[in-house]
Amino acid sequence: MEKLLLALLILVSIALPSSSLHEDQIGKFDWIQRGIGSVHLAQFDESGSADGGPARRLVVATQHNVLAVLNTKNGEIMWRHVLPIGATGTIESLNVQEGKAVIVSDNPPLLRSFDVLSGTLIKEVPLKLHYKPDSLYGKRLVQHDSSSVTVAHLTSNTAEITRFSNLKTGAQEWQHSISQPWISSESQCGLTEVSLTCVDASLGLVLSLPFSRLGKTTGKEPQFISTSLESIGLSVAVTSDDDADCKFRSIPITLQNVHGSPRHLLITSGESSSVLQVGSDGSVTPVKEAGASSGAVSVVDVTQADDAVIYRALHHKQAIRISGFSLALGTELVSRSLQFSVGAEAAVRMLVVQQYQRRGDGEVAVRALVVMHDDSVHLVASPGVLWLREEALASVLAVEAVDLPIPASSVSMHDHMAQRAGVLHSLVHRVMLQGSELLSWLAELLEDSLSPSHSSPDSPPALYRDEFNIHKLLIIATASGKIFGMDNLSGALVWSEYLPSIQPLPSDKLLLFLQRSVAHFPHPPQMVLVAMHKDSCRGVVHTFNPLTGEPTGKGLEFLPYRISQASMLAQNDQQFIKPLLVVDTSLGVHAFPSGTELSVVLPHKDVLYIATRNSTHITGHSLRSSTKESLKLTPLWSQHFPPGTIEGVYTKRPGDKVHSAGRVMADRSVLYKYTNPNLAVVVARGLDHINENLLGVYLVDLVSGAVVDWISHSRVSGPVHVIHSENWVVYTYYHDRNRRHELHSLELFEGPSQANATAFSSLAGAQRPPLVERQAYILPFGVQASAHTITEKSITTKCLLLALDTGGIAQVARWLVDPRRPMSGGGPREEGLVQYMPEVHLPSTDIISYNQTLPRVSGIYSAPTGLESTSIVFVYGLDLFFSRVFPSKMFDMLKDDFDYVLIAGALLGLVAAALITRKLAQRKALYHQWK
């Protein structure tokens, strides 16, 4: 009976309004965009199309280990499977036949077959190898057609080739181990139906091993057939060796498989490329193509129909031409060529062509999937581009939100108000201005009422700030080198700019800094992107206007040095630009924009820290020895950070605000917060003497080099996610021994008095070290990425935003993981602190992504809005998700389901009642007087 009552109570409490999202609010404040990543394998599914018509579905496999099926009508994802990250999930080959998509992935290799229509896994066959393909078996090549699978592993001096012909059982037909001195895991090789073909730039040869020879010469070492590169008509591009430690060293000559043909390979050297046909005897012959220019030829597709046709994509600036050459005739088939233009000046990376019979006249028509180097995916037919997907958005590296400008009419008033004049003059001026504003507003109103549909649908909506500054522009920098400006409320792309010559910095980051905001009218806003050059690994700085994407100032600058660190000063120069300081690898300091007067920089920046990547120590440098003419760094402090290499240095977000300087204790005394702006969390990981994982967490003052706190976790492994704000630090990790995810929380206090309430100085010397409160909590899930909410004035309580392994984005109030939560229930209690509970509860109402699953989240970005209660959240990774959060509920705004009618009705009713009763009372009093 009691249980029944309890159940009733729960039912009643559920029925009451809760703080979470209502079903009808889904999509009101949030949006989600699903992505697949950069496509590297694709094939049209021809089974669903009626009598040779165009295919309805397109199967793609991406470098993000996603297998997906796209609708060829609109490019929407019909289904997708996200395979594990890293080498185990890499999709090595794709073969679509009879409504089934067959892939080879995993280690040891697995043959999986999916139903194209529904996405269900039909069959999984392990391909049995006689050796264990671990990390020693470096490079894997897979050749896969309808009847057989060939797997080759290349290691130093050895190639292991295995052929599987029975795809039902995974039994091998034959396997061979070949030793050659020139084979390495970096060898450029390609597997065809009949041979293993490699190209070696140092030998200047194309080496081919026909499989037909393998069967006959048992016991004897099979010989490679060599063809010189000159006979093919290619020369090896000479590369300079001065950038030997550049991470992505360009390979002088590459060999890749040709889509659609198991007997052709594409060889590329520098700008020129050629298609090779491999004969069953191992002979390699270049395919002669009439009219194929030696220019920017990129990708080829061979269709093995009754007449084999080679398709090539040539690009000239933004125009792309796909032309078909008949192999039998050796002439160009003009009717089968396509022409279109793309938005960015990018080269074609991949081309997949489908030939089909047009329904009306039975002519052969052509449709092509074009993947560009900026990761955009286009489906092209004779009328032009049918649809386009920006898959660069699946690899976002940096996000920054920019406030939108206020409309020009209100700007003019603010601008003129700044002029100094007499009181009367300014009054007259103001009245006139407001009068003109009123007139323009009336004119606008009139115009609107006369022509309600005057805004044409194709013109982009005007980007102006809304009432509460929630509408912003998100500037997104991606790993492919494409930068986007995105409307945060709709997710629509406002502009995009492709920089083909850049790549992420060695730490896999791109840096975005907003040097000038929109607040300095008439100066345009300015943003700067710091990246690395693709070939030389030297620094690149790109300055642009974030509202339009157009380059400003010097635009794209190629620097003659490599970048070690970049940071932006908090102070403006006379042009309201915050200078960017770039430190190169030989400790030179450079300010951007390059004309910046050093008198702006010097008084504000004293000590810079330099953390070398994968090192064990950090060195602090001073700018004090700089002169007015040039900046100079001198080393000041150096510290080691055991137990291993430094994983990350996490400073506070620039401009991090602390609303109240102290915290009221249970006995009404005040405990002051330790808000050192130079404090950073340094995380180092290594192994101890018995090879157990160790994690060292340091709180370091980056100016003085003093360590404020030092925690050593034993048997703890990563990934470590750190959130650092105000006077607290929260980090998550995996505990090896307890086999669970844990969260460690730190809070720093100066004590009952403040040393210097107005200005903090790291060099003043600590009177006493700060008090550090520590506590650990159990997390029920693992964490993919973390951040905290940011509001305008930091009055609202902060929330942690955790992207969970389960795919949800959890909003966890900071007080839930407060290290000061009391262990016992007795005694006076501090405000807002409940008794300690070891587990952090994550109720489903705190998942801001409700039932949406977000796989592979790589980061969360949060920005304040004009409303103190509201903070915007942008989650990026494979998918993009945007939402608003209200960490302390919506205290400064009425709920959108607020009942205005009821309130107004009640108010009117009360006024009416008051009037009537007053009248009645007056009359009664009058009667009383007459009596």
Partner 1 sequence: MKLITLLLVVLFQHCSCQNFQDGLALDGQLIVVIEDNLSSTSEEGNTWEERSLVTVRSAKLGQVSISHTRPWNEKLSKSLQKLSKSGDFYKLRLHQQGSKEPNFVYTFADACQLYASGMREHINLMIDTTPSAGLLSQSLVGASLYSPEGRLCHSDVSRSIKGYNSTVSVRTPVPGTVPDTATYIQRIEMANKEKAENKDNRSFFAKYWIYIIPAVLLLMVSGGGQEGGR
For residue 776, give the nearest of 706, 868, 695 by alpha carbon.
695
**From the CB of residue 592, how many other CB atoms can be counted at a distance below 10 Å?**
23
- Chain positions 697 to 726 lying near partner 1, rule: CB under 8 A, are 697, 704-707, 709-714, 716
- Phi/psi of residue 305, each to 5°? -90, -165
Between CA 38 and CA 374 the distance in angstroms is 9
* 765 belongs to the binding site for partner 1 (CB under 8 A): yes
* 764 belongs to the binding site for partner 1 (CB under 8 A): yes
Residue 598 or residue 766: which is nearer to partner 1 going by CB? 766
3-state per-residue secondary structure call for 486-549: EECCCCCEEEEEECCCEECCCCCCCEEEEEECCCCCCCCCEEEEEEEECCCCCEEEEEECCCCC
* 681 belongs to the binding site for partner 1 (CB under 8 A): no
The token pair at 494 is: 């406002």
* 829 belongs to the binding site for partner 1 (CB under 8 A): no
Task: Note if the bond before 719 is cis, omega within 30 degrees.
Answer: yes
Residue 363 or residue 839: which is nearer to partner 1 going by CB? 839
* 604 belongs to the binding site for partner 1 (CB under 8 A): no
Cβ-contact 141, 191 below 8 angstroms? yes
The token pair at 701 is: 């003052």
* 736 belongs to the binding site for partner 1 (CB under 8 A): no
Stretch binding partner 1 (CB under 8 A), from 254-262, 335-343, 671-679, 696-704: 696-704
For residue 374, give the nearest of 243, 502, 201, 265 by alpha carbon.
502
For residue 787, give the nearest of 650, 590, 660, 680 by alpha carbon.
650
* 742 belongs to the binding site for partner 1 (CB under 8 A): yes
- Chain positions 788 to 827 lying near partner 1, rule: CB under 8 A, are 823-825
Binding partner 1 by CB under 8 A: which of 463, 493, 766, 813? 766
Binding partner 1 by CB under 8 A: which of 837, 906, 908, 925? 837
Binding partner 1 by CB under 8 A: which of 775, 806, 858, 888? 775
* # of chain residues touching partner 1 (CB under 8 A): 59
* 605 belongs to the binding site for partner 1 (CB under 8 A): no
* 243 belongs to the binding site for partner 1 (CB under 8 A): no
Stretch binding partner 1 (CB under 8 A), from 129-137, 280-288, 769-777, 801-809: 769-777
Between CA 179 and CA 156 the distance in angstroms is 9
* 770 belongs to the binding site for partner 1 (CB under 8 A): no
What is the nearest approach in angstroms of partner 1 to the Cβ of residue 616?
9
Between CA 63 and CA 47 the distance in angstroms is 26
What is the nearest approach in angstroms of partner 1 to the Cβ of residue 697?
8
* 838 belongs to the binding site for partner 1 (CB under 8 A): yes
281-290 burial code (b ≥16 CB/10 A, e <16)? ebebebbebe
CB proximity list for 13: less than 8 A, separation 6 or greater: none
**From the CB of residue 276, how many other CB atoms can be counted at a distance below 10 Å?**
24
What is the nearest approach in angstroms of partner 1 to the Cβ of residue 89?
31
* 513 belongs to the binding site for partner 1 (CB under 8 A): no
x/- letters, 617..646, toward partner 1 (CB under 8 A): --x--x-xx------x-xxxxxxxxxxx--
Binding partner 1 by CB under 8 A: which of 347, 386, 776, 795? 776
Binding partner 1 by CB under 8 A: which of 471, 472, 744, 788? 744
* 588 belongs to the binding site for partner 1 (CB under 8 A): no
* 1 belongs to the binding site for partner 1 (CB under 8 A): yes
DSSP 366-412: EEEEEEETTSEEEEEETTEEEEEEEGGGGSEEEEEEEEPPPPHHHHH
What is the nearest approach in angstroms of partner 1 to the Cβ of residue 123?
45
Phi-psi region of 67 (alpha: psi -120 to 50; beta: other; left: phi over 0): beta
Residue 764 or residue 910: which is nearer to partner 1 going by CB? 764
What is the nearest approach in angstroms of partner 1 to the Cβ of residue 192?
47
Binding partner 1 by CB under 8 A: which of 695, 809, 842, 857? 695
Phi-psi region of 333 (alpha: psi -120 to 50; beta: other; left: phi over 0): beta
* 522 belongs to the binding site for partner 1 (CB under 8 A): no
- Strands, E assignment, 404-498: 472-478, 482-487, 493-498
What is the nearest approach in angstroms of partner 1 to the Cβ of residue 800?
17
Interaction site with partner 1 (CB under 8 A): 1, 619, 622, 624-625, 632, 634-644, 686-689, 691, 694-697, 704-707, 709-714, 716, 738, 742, 744, 755-756, 763-767, 774-778, 823-825, 836-839
